[in-house]
Amino acid sequence: MIPSVIEKSVSSSQKSDAIMQWTDEGIVLGLRRHGEASAVLHLLTSGYGRHAGLVRGATSARLRGLLQPGNRLRATWRARLADHLGSYSIEPVATRSAAFIEDGAALDALNAVCALVMVTIPEREPHRAIFDGLDLLISALEDRALWPALLVRWELGLLQELGFALDLTRCAVTGQQDTLTHVSPRTGRAVSQRAAGPYEGRLLPLPPFLLGSQAVPASLEEIREGLKLTGHFLDNWALAPHGLTLPDARQRFMSRLFH
């Protein structure tokens, strides 16, 4: 869906009443209470990036279920000025969070990726690839055999979209494209088994399922290695320069998945 941007047409005498407005689809990232019955809703939208807006009556029975992380909504945002918080009116597109409400690992994974978006993506900066990838990942959270590997790939895509793409196509030392087994924690480039040699203890393991574009089955240990790999670069490249660290929600997810 292509987002629509609308600015109310008014005469010069009515300019003080002009309204900024757009409509787009977005994924619920989180909610913050505001006053007695309202809340600030954070969405990752298709065309407007991570965007906040006030939802009035957010505590009502009608809206409470819609405002859960992972749900996809159609939202119309309105404000007097573009840099104002503004307000949302919403309607459901896909209410998915209830589908895995009893799966603690899936819920922790959902909270982890939503928290990562909140801490890594600048507000109001469009990232359609991250939106599409997150939507696909959330849709897959009912399938325990699929989503852990997909989550690691999504984090790799998040790094790439932020300008921190890893080079996993060839060995940084020899240039060869086969037997790639490690990644340099400093450069983010792959290293072959032969070149790793005595430096193996200083390198990050590269799980086989991340090589190539085809879906390859991954063991739990390989998922752990993949999350350690992406976590290292998210922490050191994307967050540390801004004085930030990986969100607690991701640490809780790791603890549950590998307890």
Task: Say what the pLDDT of residue 217 is.
Answer: 75
pLDDT digits (tens, 9 = 90+) for 108-156: 999 999 999 999 999 999 999 999 999 999 999 999 999 999 999 999 9
pLDDT band at 17 (very low <50, low <70, confident <90, very high): low
Both 68 and 159 in a single domain? no
Among the three residues 65, 95, 125, which one is the final residue of a domain in this structure? Answer: 95
Taking alpha carbons only, the member of 43, 216, 170, 11 closest to residue 117 is 43
| Together in a domain, 155 and 221 | yes
Q: Quick one: 70 and 35 in the same domain?
A: yes
Specify if 232 maps to a domain. yes
Residues 112, 138: contact at Cβ < 8 Å? no
Q: Are residues 89 and 25 in the same domain?
A: yes
The per-residue pLDDT for range 220-233, each reduced to its tens digit, is 999 999 999 999 99
- At 19 the pLDDT is 86
* pLDDT for res 97: 76
Residue 194 covered by a domain: no
46 and 146 belong to one structural domain: no
Asked if residue 149 and residue 128 are part of one domain, the reply reads yes
The answer to pTM > 0.95 is: no
Is the predicted pLDDT of residue 3 greater than 70, yes or no? no
Examine the domain organization and report whether 164 and 51 are in the same domain. no
Please state the domain count of the chain.
Answer: 2
Same domain flag for 73 and 125? no
Whether residues 135 and 62 share a domain: the answer is no
* Predicted local distance difference test score (pLDDT) of residue 100: 80
Q: Which domain holds residue 133?
A: 104-168+206-257
DSSP state of 176: -
The CA-to-CA distance between both ends of the chain, in Å, stands at 41
Q: Does residue 81 sit in the same domain as residue 112?
A: no
Cα separation of 53 and 111, whole Å?
20
